[in-house]
A = this chain, B = another copy of it.
Amino acid sequence: MARTKEFDPEQALAAAMNVFWRLGYENTSLDILMHEMGIARQSLYDTFGDKRALYLKALAYYRDESHASLRRLFSSVRPVKAAFRKLLLDLSAESRAQHARGCLLLSANMERDSGDAIIAKLLLQNQRTVESIFTDALRKAQKAGELSRNQDPASLARFFVATIQGMRAMARIKSDRKALESVASVALAALE
C-alpha cells in the first residue's frame, strides 16, 4: 500500500458543484475549479475524470441533495398547502446572490445543446422524481382530507414544477421579493 488520499472527494465535489452553480458550465475554467476545489490538476483528472464527467457528477450530487431536501420538507410540514407555501416563500426570500445563481439543473437545461442525450436523460428523470414527490404528498393530503378529491394531484404536481422554474427565471432577472410572493400567492390558490 501507499499514501492515502488527502482531500475529501465529496467535499471537493461539493466545491465543484458550487462553482458550476454560480458560473455555469461554459464559464467555469479548469483553473477556477482547481482553485475552488483546493486540489491540483492531476488529482482532479485522476479522481473525477474530465471536465464533463465532473460536471455530470456535480449535477447528480445537486439532484440528490435537492430531492432529499424536498422529501424532508413534505414529511415535516403539514398540511401540504403549508409545505408548498414554505417552498415558494423561501424561494422568494432568497438573497440576490442565491437568486442570481438560480437552480443548477434549470441552468443545465437551458445551457445544454438540445442534442445532449445524457444530460437530457438526467433532467427528465429529475423532473419525474420531483413530480412524484409532489404527487405523493398531494395524494396523501387528499386521503387526509386536506385537499379536495376533485383536484388532480399529477396536474398540480406538474404545475408546481413549472411554477418554481418560472419563479427562478424571474428571480434571476430581478430579486423582487414582493413580486415573487405575489406570483406564489396566485399559484398557491390552485390548492384551494
Total interface residues on A, CB under 8 Å, equals 44
A contact patch SS: helix
Does A127 lie at the interface of the complex (its beta carbon under 8 Å from any beta carbon of B)?
A: yes
Does A159 lie at the interface of the complex (its beta carbon under 8 Å from any beta carbon of B)?
A: yes
The residues of B that contact A148 with a CB separation of less than 8 Å are none
Number of copies: 2
Judging by beta carbons under 8 Å apart, are A170 and B165 in contact? yes
Judging by beta carbons under 8 Å apart, are B169 and A109 in contact? yes
Judging by beta carbons under 8 Å apart, are B186 and A155 in contact? yes
* Bound Cα distance from A120 to B99, whole angstroms: 13
A189–chain B nearest beta-carbon distance, Å: 7
Query: Residues on A close to B: CB < 8 A?
Result: 23-24, 26-27, 100-102, 106-107, 109-111, 113-114, 120, 123-124, 127, 152, 154-156, 158-159, 161-167, 169-170, 172-174, 179, 182-183, 185-187, 189-190
Known: A107-B110, A159-B182. 16 other contacts (CB 8 A): A100-B114, A106-B169, A109-B110, A109-B169, A114-B172, A124-B173, A124-B174, A127-B173, A155-B182, A158-B186, A159-B187, A162-B163, A162-B170, A164-B166, A165-B169, A190-B190
